[in-house]
Amino acid sequence: MGGLGRPMTDHVPAPNETPGLVCAHHHLYSALARGMPAPPRTPANFTDILELVWWRLDRALDEESIRWSAMLGALEALERGCTAIIDHHESPEAIEGSLSIVAEACATVGVRVSCAYGVTDRHGPDGARRGLAENERFLVEGGRGMVGVHAAFTCTDGTLEAAASLAADHGVGVHIHVAEGEVDAPAADRLRQLATDDWLVVHGVHLADEHGLAGTIVHNPRSNMNNSVGYARPARFANPVALGTDGIGADMVDEFRLAYACHREVDVAVSPETAWGWLATGWDLFPEARSDRVIWNHQPMDPWHLAFTPGVGPVEVTVDGEVVLADGSPTRVDSDEVRSRAAEEAARLHKRLAGP
């Protein structure tokens, strides 16, 4: 039963049981991106991918597309045994209230979420101010969240300081992309004086080994491969390391498998216990998920088995004492209906993207 986590209670998990899995970095708003109209030219690098894909998509989001994207993303998480999502949201044309829409969608499906709005100066100082205000509104109203920042390279020093200060005032950390691409390699020098242990430092691909940033590094191996930004080599960091998907679903067993394969590619001596430990760090970030229970279609749920076993999925999921997935199907929502509404909303979103 090695590496199954650190249960808070005396409950001894069955061989086919784990706590709810945690996705430590997600973008629920990206769930409707699949099938979006192709960019005007093929992105040639990381900056192109941001400008031609994600920053096009986020500008087209409205309240309904935010809602149905989050509903679909939450459903897909639950269907893979992920009960807690640490989300990072951006919708520059629909900022006010957006975090509550994401939170409500997750609550409807029965999945836990921590919300953050990704503050940025790339839409001018007023856009940054409104992003900070949305984080503040959500936290003041009692939402579970962090203060989001897109990345240092799209923010002024004043905005970074304001975000760090807002987070400290509310006793939460900052959730920020750091050194994902080379363009953001100087981030550490600008953030070092601000970062604290409760920050989520996402990616860290281009961080130096001794970067001096406090916080948990969130490793997103599939996204890093997809964006060709390089391998983060997370085992080199002194910081705690957690696993995220960066918006490519929330199948954390699959992300663990990939994290192990990437780690093993550069070091044949490593064990899958290391990547499983990164997955288990999610329970330090979202402790409530430790009390959630997932019954799987496979046993034992042991890293050495899982690293080499395809198709492992949940049969039953209990969140906060309520069965929210039974016989592989959600109990609170009709999965066909959610997928159908999400597809309608995706069609509308894609039409806006293809428009003039």
Minimal CB distance to Zn ion: which residue? 246
Containing H/E element for 139? helix 124-140
Find residue 318's DSSP bridge partners: 293, 323
- Token pair of 225 as six digits: 């491969």
CB-CB contact of 178 with 207 (8 Å): yes
Interaction between residue 255 and Zn ion (CB under 5 A): no
**Which one, 79 or 246, has the nearer CB to Zn ion?**
246
Instruction: Provide, rounded to whole angstroms, the least separation between the CB of residue 82 and Zn ion.
Output: 16
Find residue 200's DSSP bridge partners: 175, 216
Chain centroid, CA 244 distance in Å: 5
- Token pair of 20 as six digits: 């709810």
Which residues are within 8 A (CB) of 38 and not within 5 positions of it... i.e. 6 or more apart? none
Instruction: Provide, rounded to whole angstroms, the least separation between the CB of residue 90 and Zn ion.
Output: 10
60-79 binders of Zn ion (CB under 5 A):
none
Instruction: Provide, rounded to whole angstroms, the least separation between the CB of residue 202 and Zn ion.
Output: 6
Instruction: Provide, rounded to whole angstroms, the least separation between the CB of residue 218 and Zn ion.
Output: 9
Chain centroid, CA 96 distance in Å: 21
**Which one, 247 or 303, has the nearer CB to Zn ion?**
247
Stretch that binds Zn ion, among 10-18, 70-78, 143-151, 240-248 (CB under 5 A): 240-248
b/e string for 120-134 if b means 16 or more Cβ within 10 A?
bbbbeeebbebbbeb
3-class state of residue 332 by DSSP: coil
Chain centroid, CA 167 distance in Å: 18
Stretch that binds Zn ion, among 152-160, 241-249, 274-282, 309-317 (CB under 5 A): 241-249
Instruction: Provide, rounded to whole angstroms, the least separation between the CB of residue 26 and Zn ion.
Output: 8
**Which one, 134 or 246, has the nearer CB to Zn ion?**
246
CB-CB contact of 16 with 233 (8 Å): no
Stretch that binds Zn ion, among 232-240, 244-252, 312-320, 332-340 (CB under 5 A): 244-252
Classify residue 140 as exposed, middle or buried by CB count within 10 Å of its CB (0-12, 13-18, 19+).
Answer: exposed
Sole binder of Zn ion in the list 76, 87, 121, 246 (CB under 5 A): 246
Instruction: Provide, rounded to whole angstroms, the least separation between the CB of residue 111 and Zn ion.
Output: 18
**Under rule CB under 5 A, how many of the chain's residues touch Zn ion?**
1
CB-CB contact of 210 with 237 (8 Å): no
Instruction: Provide, rounded to whole angstroms, the least separation between the CB of residue 150 and Zn ion.
Output: 9
Instruction: Provide, rounded to whole angstroms, the least separation between the CB of residue 88 and Zn ion.
Output: 6
6-35 binders of Zn ion (CB under 5 A):
none
Stretch that binds Zn ion, among 69-77, 160-168, 239-247, 268-276 (CB under 5 A): 239-247
**Which one, 58 or 246, has the nearer CB to Zn ion?**
246
- Token pair of 180 as six digits: 């994902």
Stretch that binds Zn ion, among 157-165, 185-193, 242-250, 294-302 (CB under 5 A): 242-250
Written as one letter, the residue type at 182 is: E
Interface with Zn ion by CB under 5 A: which residues? 246
